[in-house]
Amino acid sequence: MSLSTFIPPDGYRYLTEADVAHFLDHGWLLVPDAINRAYIGRWMADLWDRVGYDPHDESTWHTEYLHLPRHREVRAEEFAPKAWDAVCDLVGGEDRLDEVRERWHGDQFICNFGNADRMRQPTADGQLDPEQEPKRVPERPQDRTTWHIDNDWFRQFLDSSGVALTIVHCFTDILPDGGGTILAEDAIKGVCEFFYNHPEGLDPPDHNACCGHVRGCQRSTTLEAKAGDVILLHGLLPHTNSVNYRNYARVITNPHATLRQPYDLDRSDGEYSLVESVILRAMGRDSIPEYKPIRERLSFYPRTAGFKRAKVQPELDRMIAAATAKGLDESTVDSVYLKGDEALREHEMRNGYDLPIGPNGLNMTQHK
């Protein structure tokens, strides 16, 4: 197999040769200290108001794993400039990225709070010993039942590029044993083969049948990172959450990179983007000219937005109450849901909330 990848005439904006090799071999890349720190401070400032927890009282952390809705968003290139350059390099150039979908990144936090009882067990006098080893869940990462690839808004084919990259924005450190995302690095091959053999495509959440082989995979990595880091995963790299044994708020967001057009897996010049090259390398092919979807492509209202957007009003109520307690009025609360009809229409269009509901309806249940 003699596969070449497209390198822009002026070279990559961010990637080094080592970055390219790591992405092709592992399916992911860490971009350190990439987020504009002003947004971390500003958006994290009202996290505890939004979730309704007391940061100093773990007994109020009643739900271990939370997905929150989005109240604020800025252009991706403003939010994390270095990471944006890396995204452009990986997909073959900025001109291939959709101008609207996933071009704004925001504060739809994914919080993993851990569990105090799991973290440390009571001593004879009923106190919790901070030095005690955590009570670990006896399972291999491969045996978890939550392996998936991200997609909740389009019919998934092998060449689908709606999630060309899954992006992890770190708003806090991701500590060892601290609930970092687990990646099944050697599982991309099986995912590619699955969708090659299913040219009819699958609608979410049925598309995650592509991860059934992960149990037999051997190469897994649990992410660790610093606040401000960005991790870029190939869109077909299976991943799952891990247990947070440290009982702290691990906070990330999880947007994506969306392309204007499907992947071209049969380029006449053989100059494939890095995201395309990962697929071809996994399949052991120079090109895949025979692959053609046999059903129409569909895009629809994001399934998981159902349960997330149901949280908007309760969060707003808590945010307004917190402002009032400080002697401030509602106008000081920063949320697109308080900025008028035009701002809300724009937000809904950017995030696909103006699309029809898909074949499998909405998910109204919080992920676990």
Q: What is the pLDDT of residues 112-167, one digit of tens each?
A: 998 877 765 545 565 555 566 666 766 789 999 999 999 999 999 999 999 999 99
**Number of domains observed in the structure of the chain:** 1
Q: Average pLDDT over the chain, rounded to whole? A: 94
The strand ranges marked E within the chain are: 4-5, 28-31, 65-67, 73-75, 104-106, 110-112, 165-170, 182-184, 220-222, 230-234, 239-240, 250-253, 256-257, 271-272
What CATH number has the domain bearing residue 44? 2.60.120
What would the pLDDT profile of 311-345 be if each residue is shown by its tens digit?
Answer: 999 999 999 999 999 999 999 999 999 999 999 99
CB-facing half-sphere around the CA of 220: CA atoms within 13 A:
21
- Does 201 map to a domain? yes
User: Which residue has better confidence, 245 or 120?
Assistant: 245
- pLDDT of 120: 53
Question: Which residue has 């990144």 as its token pair?
Answer: 105
Mean pLDDT of 160-180: 96
- pLDDT of 7: 77
Burial (Cβ within 10 Å: 0-12, 13-18, ≥19) of residue 363:
middle
For β-strands 4-5 and 271-272, DSSP reports them as parallel
- Does 363 map to a domain? no
- pLDDT of 5: 73
Q: Are 244 and 178 in contact (CB under 8 A)?
A: yes
- Does 252 map to a domain? yes
Of the candidates 27, 246, 6, the residue with the CA atom closest to the CA atom of residue 149: 27
Report the alpha-carbon distance of residue 27 to residue 218 in Å, rounded: 15
* CA quadruple 241, 246, 251, 255: dihedral, nearest 10: -20
- Does 362 map to a domain? no
The strand ranges marked E within 117-260 are: 165-170, 182-184, 220-222, 230-234, 239-240, 250-253, 256-257
- Percent of the chain scoring above 70 in pLDDT: 93
- pLDDT of 129: 59
- pLDDT of 223: 98
> Which of 3-12, 114-123, 220-229, 243-252 has the least mean pLDDT?
114-123
Residue 1 has which token pair?
């197999």
CA geometry: angle 117, 119, 123, nearest 5 deg: 65
Report the alpha-carbon distance of residue 174 to residue 305 in Å, rounded: 25
The strand ranges marked E within 26-120 are: 28-31, 65-67, 73-75, 104-106, 110-112
- Does 131 map to a domain? no
CB-facing half-sphere around the CA of 191: CA atoms within 13 A:
30
> Which of 98-112, 124-138, 289-303 has the least mean pLDDT?
124-138
Measured between alpha carbons, how far is residue 196 from residues 95, 107, 162, 274 in Å? 27, 35, 17, 19
Domain containing 155: what range? 4-120+138-350
- Does 233 map to a domain? yes
- pLDDT of 247: 80
- Does 128 map to a domain? no
- Does 356 map to a domain? no
- pLDDT of 127: 56
Of the candidates 160, 291, 155, 141, the residue with the CA atom closest to the CA atom of residue 235: 160
Residue 339 has which token pair?
């900025």
Query: Helix or strand or coil: residue 209?
Result: helix
User: Which residue has better confidence, 219 or 247?
Assistant: 219
